């Protein structure tokens, strides 16, 4: 059977074998993207003990240290993705962040840890815009939400496996070795991306617009109220979710007395079950609902983010770790079900030649507000509550942060109200 015939037989809904292969590799990239980004979360307690850091400093390491250059370089790297080979850019970024994750394990003080985490942010800054743009060109619009949901599921799997693997490695071999193993394991994948993933033609790309200045592209995108509310929603949602995710392992260790291995296995399993099922169900649900009314790509995230807030609150108020982790499965499921759908909605309000720029703009603001400030403010709040709450201060700092998820849901709803007029 010829290659063309084979691809035609595998093809589903206008999506060929090459697109499915690219999605599989990009999902692996997403796996390592989230694993390396979140690996520090399970290591905060041993790092704090060895280096004598405060919760505020730990919040800076898990948040702003990564987010500073991740956000700053996101837009220029996205403009590069809009104009040049996204595959080559993605491979280079993966190699950089993998090596810098390994380098984090060599740090001897707060400053060296901070600089190493900034290096991880440099590499990861180019990942999501390039990957989403590739998926948008490999898949037709009606299948795009599913493709990006699969990509997001890979990230959630990486987060879950990262928690498990890092917890076990840190307990057995120490936190430094855990970082070396996790970091260096991504380098072979960078070579696989470079040599096996095809660079697709850009759907509906207008060649004459490829030289548009970045500021002009950003002004054009922000002129759409639906996109503005969507950016605000994702930024505030990231503030809540990143603050919660980065501090959950420390919360279970302090408030429930779990070991690194226990928190890695149990929290990682809860994230895997809830997160992967949630993002896949959200993508499949979007595939069914969006053809009926395109505003479902915003209504679904509004329901998911707003509905997850009370569930996360119950996680932090639960009296036992078993109850807390069980509820966490459902909270993660609901939050994740809207994540991939919300990110895919960005492309509905951006022209093809502005697509990566729009995604990077969202990542810029959500990284500064969410990944940068979320974990830090949770840490600062925990430090402020410590004189009265003691070891339970982190529990109540996390409880306060759940309000951000309700706020995010409101802006998704406001975006949906303008969606039909602003869609491109």
**Model confidence pLDDT, tens digit, residues 87-97:** 888 899 999 98
The CA angle 182-186-188, to the nearest 5 degrees, is 135
Identify the H or E element spanning 238: helix 225-256
Q: pLDDT digits over 328-377, tens only? A: 999 999 998 888 788 888 878 888 778 777 877 887 787 777 777 888 88
Mean pLDDT taken over the chain: 84
Q: pLDDT digits over 165-192, tens only? A: 888 888 888 889 999 998 898 899 999 9
Q: pLDDT digits over 368-387, tens only? A: 777 778 888 898 999 999 99
**Which residue do the tokens 């440099």 mark?**
122
pTM for this model (two decimals): 0.70
Neighbours of 24 (CB within 10 A): 12
Residue 56 near residue 380 (C-beta atoms within 8 A): yes
Cα–Cα nearest to 149, from 370, 201, 59, 157 = 157
Confidence of residue 209 (pLDDT cuts 50, 70, 90): very low
Cα–Cα nearest to 303, from 327, 271, 281, 323 = 281
Higher per-residue pLDDT: 250 or 14: 250
Query: Can you tell me the distance from the alpha carbon of 184 to that of 32, in angstroms, rounded to the nearest whole number?
Result: 10
Give the side-chain half-sphere CA count within 13 A for 329. 11
Say which DSSP state 276 is in: I
**Which residue do the tokens 């390491």 mark?**
61
Q: What topology does CATH give the domain 17-198+211-422?
A: Growth Hormone; Chain: A; (1.20.1250)
Region of 13 on the Ramachandran plot (φ > 0 left; ψ -120 to 50 alpha; else beta) = left
Query: Can you tell me the distance from the alpha carbon of 123 to that of 145, in angstroms, rounded to the nearest whole number?
Result: 25
What is the Rg, in whole angstroms, of the alpha carbon atoms belonging to the chain? 20
Residue 113 near residue 47 (C-beta atoms within 8 A): yes
Residue 160 near residue 272 (C-beta atoms within 8 A): yes
- Let me know how long the chain is: 424
**Assigned token pair, 89:** 């850019």
pLDDT at 174: 86
Query: Can you tell me the distance from the alpha carbon of 333 to that of 318, in angstroms, rounded to the nearest whole number?
Result: 18
């Amino acid at each position: 059977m010829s290659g063309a015939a084979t691809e035609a037989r595998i093809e589903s809904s206008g999506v060929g074998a090459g697109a499915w292969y690219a999605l599989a590799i990009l999902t692996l990239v997403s796996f390592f993207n989230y694993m390396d980004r979140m690996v520090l979360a399970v290591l905060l307690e041993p790092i704090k003990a060895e280096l004598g850091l405060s919760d505020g400093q730990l919040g800076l390491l898990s948040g702003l240290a990564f987010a500073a250059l991740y956000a700053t370089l996101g837009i220029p790297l996205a403009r590069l993705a809009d104009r040049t080979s996204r595959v080559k850019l993605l491979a280079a970024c993966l190699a950089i962040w993998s090596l810098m994750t390994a380098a984090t394990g060599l740090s001897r003080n707060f400053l060296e840890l901070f600089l190493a985490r900034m290096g991880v942010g440099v590499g990861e800054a180019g990942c999501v815009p390039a990957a989403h743009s590739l998926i948008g060109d490999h898949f037709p619009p009606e299948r795009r939400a599913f493709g990006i949901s699969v990509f997001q599921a890979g990230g959630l799997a990486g987060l879950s496996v990262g928690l498990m693997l890092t917890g076990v490695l840190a307990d057995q071999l120490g936190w430094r070795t855990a970082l070396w193993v996790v970091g260096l394991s991504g380098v072979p994948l960078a070579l696989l991306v470079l040599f096996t993933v095809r660079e697709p033609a850009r759907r509906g790309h207008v060649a004459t617009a490829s030289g548009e200045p970045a500021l002009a592209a950003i002004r054009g995108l922000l002129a759409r109220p639906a996109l503005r509310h969507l950016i605000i929603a994702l930024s505030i949602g990231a503030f809540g979710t990143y603050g919660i995710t980065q501090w959950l392992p420390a919360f279970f260790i302090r408030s429930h007395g779990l070991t690194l291995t226990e928190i890695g296995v149990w929290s990682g399993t809860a994230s895997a079950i809830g997160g992967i099922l949630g993002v896949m169900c959200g993508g499949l649900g979007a595939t069914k609902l969006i053809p009926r009314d395109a505003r479902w790509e915003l209504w679904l995230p509004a329901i998911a983010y707003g509905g997850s807030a009370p569930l996360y609150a119950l996680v932090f108020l639960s009296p036992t770790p078993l109850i807390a982790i069980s509820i966490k499965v459902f909270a993660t499921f609901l939050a994740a079900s809207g994540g991939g759908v919300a990110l895919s909605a960005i492309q509905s309000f951006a022209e093809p030649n502005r697509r990566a720029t729009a995604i990077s703009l969202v990542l810029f603001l959500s990284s500064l507000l969410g990944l940068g400030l979320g974990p830090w403010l949770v840490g600062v709040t925990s430090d402020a509550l410590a004189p009265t709450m003691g070891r339970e201060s982190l529990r109540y700092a996390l409880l306060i942060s759940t309000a951000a998820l309700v706020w995010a849901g409101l802006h998704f709803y406001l975006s949906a109200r303008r969606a039909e007029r602003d869609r491109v």
